Structure 1
């Protein structure tokens, strides 16, 4: 077979690297996708490229046999197979068939009312990302035997590992097997599977038909976008065939009670039932292949009226070229019907429609030659939209047999612009076969999944390192979406003007990442050396306070006070290093392995409600402890309290405590803190390079939809400057020496009156008036906030407390580098305060070429 990847390879410099078998299995195409421009197109999957059904089914069957050989007959009989929607639903079925006695379930993007959800996860680079697991039998995934996960392609491994991590927390087991047609991991990803297996304490094997990798040149995403924009209107489908008859409907006589696929589970007994029925089902389709009658016209509701025609006509010919076309997730039933027709001597190919928008280019070196576009016809959960059938038009088929389930047999399917009309315009004969959509018995709960809002299980699993952030995967899960491929940075002066003019919110863009000079790096390391023990003491104090007071928190919400440890939820990104350190303290001192997540909160916009929904679906909200680095004037403290109140009113979910635990509380804004001194926390000195290489969070309507987490970027290119791990290790190394002091601090704190006085807020209001700013949002108190002003904003001046030189070295250096005056004052409640003047004028510069402000 000629490799259909040269068109993309020549224009983008993409290389397919692997054995001789790889080009026979894969082609290349381009698609509109903000995270991955190229698409690996399988020639044996039966999705985008029509293929003989025996080849498609045989590929999965052979992989299933290999899994059985790996596990042995006894373990194979105890296993469960899980396939991924939409592309791998039939592949997973075939693997289960090869295993022999294994039940099968595939994920779905179609919610079904009343069916309890056994989980959900996110496919990071897919066009339609959210997956649901909806087994009819809630115990299907709860057994202890091996779980076999099947996907068409194993690249970064994020989707599969996220699935295993989620299911392992609910239904732990000793063994997993990952199956893919192709293993396309990069060298950087090859070790992740073993590390992940060690992390969860289970064995994870990988089986694939071929292995290789794709070498992507720099800038490939942007070049891919440009190519798609250039060519997407230039390659239309071939001209329609004139005078074609209307589609013919065939009554399949599908066996009653037989599921149409594995959306709700497919057992070995179901498989036997299908095998017995296949010859008769295929015979009914064969009878209709040469029927030239017309389809029964729709009734008033748009559906075909009563009296379906079973098909008529003479002997079916075997010389005609027939395509059996499945429908999105409905891949297995059409595949087996196509295989039965092939066994009967027909010249058959098989493929399915898809949600994925791929560029079509009529070139022999390109995998997707033609594209038929039609409106969705299955009342999808994500709303109306386009769907696609590739390599059907102009492919020389005499007949297309379209197989859909009854849920998709809608007026939209039969509409003038619907799929049937589109197919009839390009193929001489169209036959419609409808499989009844299986309706499972309604269940109300599962043994291990807590009740959650309807949308929660549609949300993705947390991002984890090393794929997202330089932190180890167990240190933190980021409830964010990865926007690394999006250009979000803007010059500081442009951002400041837009923010102050009201033209943009600060969370809609990112500042250019500050690259510290050698002198500044020396200051950071010096500050870390001198303050590591002070940091460790504050970490220990706040962690022990949280552990001591958690039963009181739970009691306020009617929960069991002694149920389990807290769930740490840090406010990204300043809170994340603190959350990691608190987790390390709890593990070192108490042997507690605390869950830790990072979420986004945006001043004026509130906390990420989707992140709260995810947390409520996976943990008791009363266990959640929000964590931040420090308080300034307390704006985020108030923001969180207001956001939690609004969330509870809107969602009906109670139990989240809005109190924040912070390392330092110089503004006296919270009850739970490590210290109220305003000292230099070294993690405030830098941006992403001390926070796992993650940017500040982003909330912009064109990037973050109603069902998305807020976004952030992973600055992989800054790995050479990353000190995130060194910072954590330096502080954690001092835990033992401060342990006794921490015990004394905590006893004193628990006995003291820690009611917030909000003296910091009062001071900010006073400073705002004294300096003529009249906007408390432009007054940034404390060492941490002042540092942020100097790194991210356009500062006017710095107020420094006289005599606080020890914590001001890095502030003075940054101020010197940016030409910002430092004014020393008495009676300042903070070590320093950064001021941003509201009358900042873009373009004005001083003698040194730096931006200045006018009053």
Structure 2
């Protein structure tokens, strides 16, 4: 049976084909401030635009990891910035914890310019901030990449598959031993025809792992004319950003674990910033295990219309001094707030702590 979602930007029609968890459990919906794509599937379990308990996020990681077939290692997980920087690392982490695989490496694409050689660079068609860069892995991990037999490409949602296919084909051309490719996501909107085309394009074994499958169509509201954000600037000269948290790869059995500040109140929100998600998530998860009532969420480059699943939104300039608007959707209220930065000095560039009264957790490194 079709489901109709009425948004400010138009009407989504959704037909589900498979669902391990309900549509309502996994997704909310909102309107993009983007003429290329007026709708947005807003994950309730990602810890991005909607605050989420770390235990629920870990449950999603475990479910997806458990669905992965027996594969040949070394296994490479690649997460797409910015939403799958945390998801990809989380699933890779759960995969290591749930299995006997020891040779598992994770890396994510980034929007940032680093002092490292670019490996793959491409654009995401419908994104407000299109440039993706995958940097040359750290020297200590290079042999694992070259020997890798299984490539797992991770995104929170797959609608056309074009971006992941483009990335996968680029990587296969550089990693000669890849024998199988897995496209892993929370939600998959690909038709059977689209899946077949992707399988044929890789010319090797391809599988799809997800928790919900279906198809959708969108009827735009011609009267919806959002005020568009200023055009995103291209990447600035080299930024001072960490290279040991996923942008150049990390061995999941040796992943950096960073302890954050201990909360003073029972109800606490941990806020990751931009691509810095996995380490703050691990700290939030540990606090929840100690008995704190913890919610996790993170800032984003994505402008979203307030309404539907977005109750409120804050806008501020990025912490890297690129002059780019960032957002915190559904900001915390009535909770102690801890804002995590990958480098302590970045907090001085950010007025988010002033806007929400949060304390700063800046990592030294």
- TM-score bin, normalised by smaller chain: 0.7 to 0.9
Could you say which residue in structure 2 is the equivalent of 1:45?
A: 46
**Per-residue CA distance 1:212-263 (angstroms, 9 max, x = gap):** 222212xx1x63742x359x9xxxxxxxxxxxxxxxxxxxxxxxxx975211
How many Å apart are 1:390 and its aligned residue?
A: 0.7
Q: How does 1:709-724 map to 2 (within 5 A)?
A: none
Q: Residues 15 and 215 of structure 2 are in contact (CA less than 8 Å); yes or no, is this contact kept in structure 1?
A: yes
How many Å apart are 1:46 and its aligned residue?
A: 0.6
Q: Residues 65 and 95 of structure 1 are in contact (CA less than 8 Å); yes or no, is this contact kept in structure 2?
A: no
SS state of the match for residue 33, structure 1?
A: coil
**Per-residue CA distance 1:9-40 (angstroms, 9 max, x = gap):** 8x722223225712221111111213111111
Whether 1:391 aligns to 2:326 is no
Greater than 6 Å deviation, 4+ residue runs: none
Whether 1:212 aligns to 2:214 is yes
Could you say which residue in structure 2 is the equivalent of 1:350?
A: 296
Whether 1:359 aligns to 2:286 is no
Could you say which residue in structure 2 is the equivalent of 1:58?
A: 59
Distance 1:56 1:384 in 2: 31
Could you say which residue in structure 2 is the equivalent of 1:183?
A: 188
Could you say which residue in structure 1 is the equivalent of 2:106?
A: 104
Q: Residues 107 and 132 of structure 1 are in contact (CA less than 8 Å); yes or no, is this contact kept in structure 2?
A: yes
Structure holding more helix per residue: 1
Could you say which residue in structure 1 is the equivalent of 2:316?
A: 374
How many Å apart are 1:405 and its aligned residue?
A: 1.3
How many Å apart are 1:411 and its aligned residue?
A: 3.4
Could you say which residue in structure 2 is the equivalent of 1:142?
A: 146
How many Å apart are 1:7 and its aligned residue?
A: 4.8
Distance 2:41 2:138 in 1: 33
Q: Residues 355 and 388 of structure 1 are in contact (CA less than 8 Å); yes or no, is this contact kept in structure 2?
A: yes
Change (3 A) 1:352 1:224: farther
Distance 1:81 1:47 in 2: 20
Distance 2:65 2:223 in 1: 36
Q: Residues 31 and 359 of structure 1 are in contact (CA less than 8 Å); yes or no, is this contact kept in structure 2?
A: yes
Q: What TM-score, normalized to structure 1? A: 0.38
SS state of the match for residue 409, structure 1?
A: helix
Distance 2:27 2:170 in 1: 30
* Contiguous gaps of at least 5 residues in structure 1: 233-257, 291-316, 425-429, 438-855
Q: Residues 344 and 363 of structure 2 are in contact (CA less than 8 Å); yes or no, is this contact kept in structure 1?
A: no
Distance 1:225 1:184 in 2: 25
How many Å apart are 1:330 and its aligned residue?
A: 0.4
Change (3 A) 1:396 1:158: same
Q: Residues 327 and 403 of structure 1 are in contact (CA less than 8 Å); yes or no, is this contact kept in structure 2?
A: yes
Could you say which residue in structure 1 is the equivalent of 2:235?
A: none
**Per-residue CA distance 1:96-121 (angstroms, 9 max, x = gap):** 112213111011111111x1222122
- Counting matched residue pairs gives 337
Could you say which residue in structure 1 is the equivalent of 2:11?
A: 13
Could you say which residue in structure 1 is the equivalent of 2:249?
A: 265
Could you say which residue in structure 1 is the equivalent of 2:170?
A: 166
Q: Residues 77 and 106 of structure 2 are in contact (CA less than 8 Å); yes or no, is this contact kept in structure 1?
A: yes
How many Å apart are 1:375 and its aligned residue?
A: 1.2
Distance 2:75 2:223 in 1: 41
SS state of the match for residue 193, structure 1?
A: helix
Distance 1:436 1:7 in 2: 46
Change (3 A) 1:200 1:391: closer
How many Å apart are 1:140 and its aligned residue?
A: 4.6
Counterpart among 422, 433, 445 of residue 355 in structure 2: 422
Distance 2:28 2:44 in 1: 7
Q: Residues 88 and 106 of structure 2 are in contact (CA less than 8 Å); yes or no, is this contact kept in structure 1?
A: yes
Q: CA RMSD in A?
A: 2.4
Q: Residues 338 and 350 of structure 1 are in contact (CA less than 8 Å); yes or no, is this contact kept in structure 2?
A: yes
How many Å apart are 1:130 and its aligned residue?
A: 0.9
**Per-residue CA distance 1:381-416 (angstroms, 9 max, x = gap):** xx3121100111xx5332110001117615322xxx
Distance 2:244 2:86 in 1: 11
Q: Residues 29 and 40 of structure 1 are in contact (CA less than 8 Å); yes or no, is this contact kept in structure 2?
A: yes
Could you say which residue in structure 1 is the equivalent of 2:198?
A: 196
Distance 2:250 2:11 in 1: 43
How many Å apart are 1:434 and its aligned residue?
A: 1.0
Could you say which residue in structure 2 is the equivalent of 1:30?
A: 31
**Per-residue CA distance 1:133-188 (angstroms, 9 max, x = gap):** 12213445322410001100011001111111211222242210110000122x4x
Distance 1:436 1:65 in 2: 35
Distance 1:156 1:327 in 2: 27
Q: How does 1:495-510 map to 2 (within 5 A)?
A: none
SS state of the match for residue 212, structure 2?
A: strand
Whether 1:132 aligns to 2:133 is yes
Q: Residues 30 and 40 of structure 2 are in contact (CA less than 8 Å); yes or no, is this contact kept in structure 1?
A: yes
How many Å apart are 1:61 and its aligned residue?
A: 2.7
Could you say which residue in structure 2 is the equivalent of 1:849?
A: none
Q: Residues 15 and 216 of structure 2 are in contact (CA less than 8 Å); yes or no, is this contact kept in structure 1?
A: yes
Q: Residues 74 and 144 of structure 2 are in contact (CA less than 8 Å); yes or no, is this contact kept in structure 1?
A: no
SS state of the match for residue 14, structure 1?
A: strand
Distance 1:346 1:31 in 2: 34
Could you say which residue in structure 2 is the equivalent of 1:473?
A: none
Distance 2:7 2:92 in 1: 35
SS state of the match for residue 216, structure 1?
A: strand
Distance 1:209 1:127 in 2: 26
Change (3 A) 1:171 1:401: same
**Per-residue CA distance 1:735-780 (angstroms, 9 max, x = gap):** xxxxxxxxxxxxxxxxxxxxxxxxxxxxxxxxxxxxxxxxxxxxxx
Distance 1:160 1:225 in 2: 30
* Contiguous gaps of at least 5 residues in structure 2: 97-101, 230-241
Distance 2:193 2:306 in 1: 36
Could you say which residue in structure 2 is the equivalent of 1:435?
A: 363
Q: Which structure: larger Rg?
A: 1
Structure holding more strand per residue: 2
Counterpart among 329, 334, 341 of residue 275 in structure 2: 329
Distance 2:182 2:294 in 1: 32
Q: Residues 187 and 213 of structure 2 are in contact (CA less than 8 Å); yes or no, is this contact kept in structure 1?
A: yes
Distance 1:54 1:8 in 2: 30
